[in-house]
Chains A and B, each alone.
Chain A
């Protein structure tokens, strides 16, 4: 069972925005505003449970002028799971009908 924290959902949210697009760590740090020390444990966990898969970028470092990055891609399981988790979060955050009934208006005081 994957333990999905808000931070993990934030990372998954980036993948959900464009599921086919591979992402790398620094890009995810920029998009989520997370520090490297927070991001990589999440990526490792999601990869361990098969929600993400990673592969070394297929470039020639000599031509590209930089080392190859490790690119992460969301799997079908991850896509399905992330959508369910995000829906569950929205449901959890939605105002309950029992707490705020109808339209809010100032309390009427007897004259």
Chain B
């Protein structure tokens, strides 16, 4: 009995401790990512994906490239994401259009605005537009469950396209052709509903 306890304490216990350490390290390193996600939610929707891409890539370097020590990584990661959480509104203000930008936007035709908005879109937005168009055209009733399903599909598509968010002109043309976004009479309404464009007054 004593022998078994000795073997347990000599072999099993260190392995168990190492596993728990790894587990805790994994959980702790999730913290900076969660804080970064909160920061991303504080910036406007139209810039969110771009900033999330940028900030996540840099947090990845902090958490995996700068130092081997887990507590230092946690500290540096939290300092990076925490500082962004505090400054997120300031970044939003800087990214928001100036008065002259808004005036220039008001002077554009709806087609110009659709084209410009479309070119600024990330894959995530394009996918959401496409799914929204599909939902509208198929006559689905939008309820809480549908929205959850929609969000799941959207997340899956975003994951698939995670490393391909900036499209080339050729890819954009292909997306327009395949998804027929411009041909959809609801495209403008969808974009307005999703705050991609402000409401247009004819």
Contact = CB atoms under 8 A, between A and B. Distances in A.
Interface of A: 24-26, 35-38, 40-41, 44-45, 48, 55-56, 60-62, 66-70
A67 B53 contact: yes
A25 B58 contact: yes
Contacts of A70: 50, 53-54, 57
B119 to A, nearest CB: 14
Contacts of A68: 53, 57, 163
Interface residues of B, number: 29
Contacts of B61: 26, 66
Contacts, number: 67
A56 B58 contact: no
B183 interface: no
- Which secondary structure dominates chain B's binding surface? helix
Given A24-B58, A56-B166, A44 B53 contact: no
A26 B87 CA distance: 16
Contact of B90 (A41, A48, A56, A67): A41
Interface string B54-78: 1111101110110000000000000
7 nearest interchain CB pairs?
Answer: A37-B87, A37-B83, A44-B94, A70-B54, A67-B57, A26-B58, A41-B90
A40 B84 contact: yes
